[in-house]
Amino acid sequence: MIVEVKTPNKNYEILIDKLPEIKIDSKVAIITNPTVSGLHINKLLSKLQAKEIHIVTLPDGEEYKNFDSIHFGLDRLFDAKFDRNSVLIAFGGGVIGDMTGFMASIFLRGIKFIQIPTTLLSMVDSSVGGKTGINNKYGKNLIGAFYQPEVVYINPDFLKTLPKREVSAGMAEVIKMSVMFDKVFFENIKDNKCTIEQIIRRSVELKSEVVTQDEKEKGIRSILNYGHTFGHVIENLTNYSVYLHGEAVAIGMVMANRLAVKLGYLTEIEEKEIIKCLKENDLPTTFQIKDVNDFYEHFFADKKTLNNSIKFIIPNGIGNYKIVKDVDKEIILEVLGEFKI
């Protein structure tokens, strides 16, 4: 199956199928991590032809999504005398995809890169749309660029070796998109009526539709941050070492839903349906906040906060969305207070 993404800067295809033969008439660097390399590198190498192939292995985990890893990767490219015709291949999950895209965007002011995601989360979300970047002490993905890949190859076979926890983390992003945009899709997920291929396809279709309309998150693309405003704070407070990204997003969705209920956009029945769906996909739905005021202050480090105004993405029923700004601080603190230790 082919899904097209069209943006002002680039049009490209997402191919959902077996990994095809890939021929590149230049130097190529496969950017990966030890886990993915150990499981799948031979599969990729058997499909790849290039003038030279280099493998750059970065540490595995969100806590390594930083400038140290970027510098290491860039140094390997300079050591191998890469040039502006060279190509990077992101071969891994969302962390590898984000870092590879960022490296591609800044190496010699921009070279081509290809996404080959190996986790469910990266297949349904992060590999599509050109968001690249790294974390720092102030928050998540605060340094980066919008930089589109040449093509995205999604091979569901890679999921066969994925730990169950990683599959669940990917489902958080799937549920997020269904709650925001497609009630029928949500119902099918809830009732376990979708195959993994159908889940990937519908998620990619929804993401590509959004990116096509709004490449650089000036409007509708911000809706994809449902669950992320709260979730990014959770990741930052736990030093990116307790929760997988999808797990933090799941908890963030629960918090956003509580806000939506208090503001009258979501019923308690709908709230419970979403929580049930998250739990059935083995996702966490609770978090113990130590200091609600400290949690609140972390919102202002989020890149979506403008002019000291926090923007929240919340459900307007299931299958629709609402952007709310300038929510009374006391209401937000009240929501956070329900998660206090």
Q: What burial class does residue 302 get, using C-beta atoms within 10 Å of its C-beta: 0-12 exposed, 13-18 middle, 19+ buried?
A: buried
Per-residue tokens: 63: 């806590």
Catalytic residue among 245, 247, 257, 270: 245
Catalytic residue among 166, 205, 215, 217: 217
Q: How far is the C-alpha of 301 from the C-alpha of 135, rounded, in Å?
A: 12
Chain-centroid distance, C-alpha 277: 20
Catalytic residue among 21, 23, 81, 109: 109
Q: 130: phi > 0 → left, psi -120 to 50 → alpha, else beta; which?
A: left
Cβ-contact 313, 265 below 8 angstroms = no
298 is annotated as an active-site residue: no
Catalytic residue among 33, 228, 235, 257: 228
DSSP lists the bridge partners of residue 55 as: 30
131 is annotated as an active-site residue: yes
71 is annotated as an active-site residue: no
322 is annotated as an active-site residue: no
What's the CA angle centered on 74, arms 163 and 46, to 5 degrees? 50
Catalytic residue among 131, 176, 190, 202: 131
228 is annotated as an active-site residue: yes
Q: How far is the C-alpha of 277 from the C-alpha of 310, rounded, in Å?
A: 27
Q: How far is the C-alpha of 128 from the C-alpha of 208, rounded, in Å?
A: 7
10 to each of 5, 70, 101, 326, how far by Cα in Å? 8, 24, 14, 35
270 is annotated as an active-site residue: no
Catalytic residue among 112, 201, 207, 258: 207
140 is annotated as an active-site residue: no
207 is annotated as an active-site residue: yes
Mind telling me the catalytic residues? 109, 131, 173, 207, 217, 221, 225, 228, 232, 245
